[in-house]
Amino acid sequence: MIMTMVMTSGMSPVKVSLLLVLHHGVLLLLTRCCEGQSHMIGPTQPVVAMIGDDIILPCHLEPAVDAVELTVEWSRQDLTPRFVYVRRNGVELLTEQNLLYTKRTSLSVSKLQCGDISLKLSTVKLSDAGTYKCLVPTYGAESVVQLAVGSVSSPLIELSTVKDKVVLECESNGWYPEPQLLWLNSEGKLISAEPTKTVRGSDGLYTVSSKVSVEKGHSYSFTCRVQQKNISQIKEAHIHVSDNLFMVQSNTAVHITINLVVCLISIGTIASILFIIWKQEQKKTDKREVRIEEHSLREGEEKNRLDDELKNHEEDLQHVQQIITKLMEQKKDLKKQREKLNSLLQEDKAEMKEVTKKLETNAKMDADKKRKKREKSQHDLEKRVKEHEDLLGITDKLMEATEDIILQMTERKVKLEKDKGKILKHLKEKQKETRDLEQPELS
């Protein structure tokens, strides 16, 4: 048809041949474009997931096409059978799926319509780590996704004393892959420590621990850092060791116990101050009685005595007010301490309830080692609840003792203010008597 049209229009045979070659070239290019119209796009970096997480392994067709009715295959070459997920003609084929992935894989139909064939993998296991292939046979398009599986936990620091040294031990369990443990000083610089001990459990997870010694008589802050670069995870614990072995570690019963000890010391100090005040008051009373006796002999000394007594009362009032202020601050701190203990106690009970529920629910299904681990967790929680309840009881007693002392000191303050008023009144009366006696002499 093309040749007939060209000849009709009066073109030469050479021009007709060139036009035919050009026409075939265009058709060839169009055919190649159609053959490669879609290809697979996947991640350039490994996908990292933590044990127990739900993860998406990304993969999609570019340009996007409706893949709902297409054959989609996800596989791992190191498994038998190799298929992780298979979908043909819009139906998921469970019979060809590896049993390790039963009820743990799925594709989104709405995303398939847009060419997104990303695989959702639920409840990731350690054994899921590996290389996955995403394939759409219709287009001969495939992509590879590398999945790295990890597990982490927060480290714990314990303190003990050996002769003239303080020994800090840091331990963290439940890691994968094998992590690195480092000790850092307050400036963030590495410090020398004993070689890290690494133990791998039957569940495939690693436990690491290390010790560092600190000379007594110094004050330092330390950080235990556990890190795994492959999964980009870092966990830290901090501790402060002072020259009197006072230790503060966040979110532990040790911090609460030390606060309570400080409170007890403060209460003891206040009691000692009250005793000293009482002794001083007794001496002042004796001294005041002597002065009263001398008053009958020397009227002029009465004013001096009253002035001294007024000064002493003002000093006592100031001192009592300072004590009341400190006690009120102490009461405020104890109240916060009690609220913190109640909060920790509620968290412990909720956690213990969850652990107990898991023990009762999974008693038959759990392996012996896993059951023992949960029973140990339950025992530790019961012990921690008991400690927090005991500390809460001590805090309540301290609150009651503090309130009693505040009441006593308030009564003492009221009495001192009344006595001060009487002294001022007496002084005014003496001044009036002196003026009255001087007036006749002037006349």
Same domain, 367 and 407: yes
In a domain, 48, yes or no: yes
In a domain, 21, yes or no: no
Sheet of 165-175, strands arranged across = 156-162, 165-175, 206-215, 197-200
Same domain, 264 and 401: yes
Same domain, 322 and 259: yes
In order of 66, 87, 101, 144, the CA distances from 93 in angstroms are 19, 6, 13, 21
pLDDT of 259 over the 50 cut: yes
Out of 123, 150, 177, pick the residue that ends a domain: 150
pLDDT of 74 over the 60 cut: yes
Each residue of 78-97: pLDDT tens digit? 999 999 999 999 899 999 99
- Half-sphere exposure at residue 351, Cβ-oriented, CA atoms within 13 angstroms: 17
Is 51:126 a contact under the CB 8 Å cutoff?
A: yes
Each residue of 373-386: pLDDT tens digit? 777 877 888 888 88
Same domain, 55 and 130: yes
Same domain, 60 and 75: yes
The bridge status of strand 165-175 relative to strand 156-162 is: antiparallel
Q: How far is CA 67 from the centre of its chain?
A: 44
Same domain, 161 and 290: no
Same domain, 311 and 404: yes
d(CA 24, CA 317): 111
Same domain, 355 and 376: yes
Is 308:224 a contact under the CB 8 Å cutoff?
A: no
Each residue of 105-151: pLDDT tens digit? 999 999 999 999 999 999 999 999 999 999 999 988 899 999 999 99
Out of 201, 223, 248, pick the residue that ends a domain: 248
Q: If residue 66 lies in a helix (H) or strand (E), which one and from where to where?
A: none
Out of 201, 224, 248, pick the residue that ends a domain: 248
Predicted confidence band of residue 10 (pLDDT cuts 50, 70, 90) = very low
In order of 167, 183, 189, 318, 342, the CA distances from 216 in angstroms are 10, 18, 20, 40, 35
Which CATH number do you get for residue 110? 2.60.40.10
Same domain, 297 and 417: yes
Each residue of 324-372: pLDDT tens digit? 888 888 888 888 888 888 888 888 888 888 878 877 777 666 667 777 7
| CA-CA-CA-CA dihedral for 74, 77, 81, 87, to nearest 10 | 10
Each residue of 292-312: pLDDT tens digit? 555 555 566 667 777 777 777
Same domain, 425 and 287: yes
Q: What percent of the chain has pLDDT over 90?
A: 34
Same domain, 280 and 348: yes
In a domain, 273, yes or no: yes
Residue 161's DSSP bridge partners are 166
Each residue of 175-219: pLDDT tens digit? 999 999 999 988 889 988 999 999 999 989 999 999 998 876 555
Confidence at residue 15, expressed as pLDDT on a 0 to 100 scale: 45
In a domain, 11, yes or no: no
In a domain, 23, yes or no: no
Average pLDDT over residues 270-288: 72
More confident residue, 165 or 155: 155
Mean pLDDT for all residues in the chain: 79
What are the respective helix, strand and coil percentages of the chain, to the nearest 5? 50, 25, 25
Is 115:35 a contact under the CB 8 Å cutoff?
A: no
DSSP code of residue 195: P
- Domain that residue 193 falls in: 156-248
Q: Which single residue is written with the structure tokens 């681990």?
A: 373
Same domain, 106 and 201: no
Which CATH number do you get for residue 326? 1.10.287
In a domain, 61, yes or no: yes
Number of domains in the chain: 3
Confidence at residue 29, expressed as pLDDT on a 0 to 100 scale: 36
Instruction: Supply φ then ψ for residue 428, to 5 degrees.
Output: -60, -40
